[in-house]
């Protein structure tokens, strides 16, 4: 997955991402699928599961398109 940097703080302001750590998971359609503020091992496991599902959805789309 890609990571991006917000050099001028525009995205930070738009998403009100003013806490650290903060993770926004945005799907390929531009929809925010999850927001994680702070850290917990339970949320980390949930986040990994969500990422896995999103990647599977994408893989499934490619397989059906062929």
Q: What is the mean pLDDT of each run of 10 residues along the chain (66 residues)?
A: 78 80 87 90 93 85 51
Give the C-alpha distances (Å, rounded to integers) separating 32 from 48, 56, 66: 15, 17, 28
pTM beyond 0.75, yes or no: no
């Amino acid at each position: 997955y890609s990571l991006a940097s917000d050099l001028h703080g525009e995205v930070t302001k738009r998403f009100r991402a003013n806490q650290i750590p903060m993770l926004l998971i945005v799907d390929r359609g531009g929809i925010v699928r999850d927001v994680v503020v702070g850290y917990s091992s339970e949320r980390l496991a949930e986040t990994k599961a969500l990422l896995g599902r999103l990647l599977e959805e994408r893989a499934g789309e490619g397989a059906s398109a062929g």
